Amino acid sequence: MRFRRTLEEREEPIELNLIPLIDVIMFLLIFFISTTSFIEEPGVQVDKPKAATARQLEKNAIIFAVTTDGKVAYGGKEIGLGGVRPTVKRLCAKEPLQVVIQADNQSLSGLMIRVMDEAKLGGAKDVSLATEKS
């Protein structure tokens, strides 16, 4: 008895390679994380006053915080009143930026006005106060 050979090849199991798919997903994840813009808020917690005319913060703004005990902070670090003007000058070297002052509800108004003056003398485009929408 003679057996005939078939010309068909055996079917091998199909393997799905997931490594390129994982690479593409990781690339997309990194792309979206790196292109997302974040608004930096200082690490100092202040109780902002409420205002009905509050509006959204610009992306490119310099944010100073004025606390109840008379400290001025930028980026979570205390810089004092004397550090406001040099900080604004350094950050506004290429183009004038808006300065936002986050003053605590119980902070001294005199200190807040002095911070506003220092920011204007440093070359700020616009100086405004941060509030919460009521």
Alpha-carbon distance of 76 to 104, in angstroms, equals 14
In a domain, 84, yes or no: yes
Predicted confidence at residue 61, as pLDDT, reads 84
In a domain, 3, yes or no: no
CB neighbours of residue 131 within 10 Å: 17
Q: What is the pLDDT along the chain (134 residues), one digit of tens a residue?
A: 566 666 666 677 778 888 888 999 999 999 888 887 665 555 666 666 666 666 666 667 888 889 888 889 888 888 998 999 999 999 888 888 889 888 888 888 889 889 999 999 998 888 888 877 76
In a domain, 21, yes or no: no
The CATH number given to whatever domain includes residue 110 is: 3.30.420
In a domain, 10, yes or no: no
* Structural contact between residues 10 and 93, judged by C-beta atoms closer than 8 angstroms: no
pLDDT of 50-81, one tens digit each? 666 666 666 678 888 898 888 898 888 889 98
Alpha-carbon distance of 98 to 35, in angstroms, equals 22
In a domain, 125, yes or no: yes
In a domain, 94, yes or no: yes
Alpha-carbon distance of 40 to 107, in angstroms, equals 22
66: which residues sit within 8 A by CB, 6+ positions away?
A: 46, 72, 101, 102, 103, 104, 107, 108, 111, 112, 115
pTM over cut 0.95? no
Total count of domains within the chain:
1
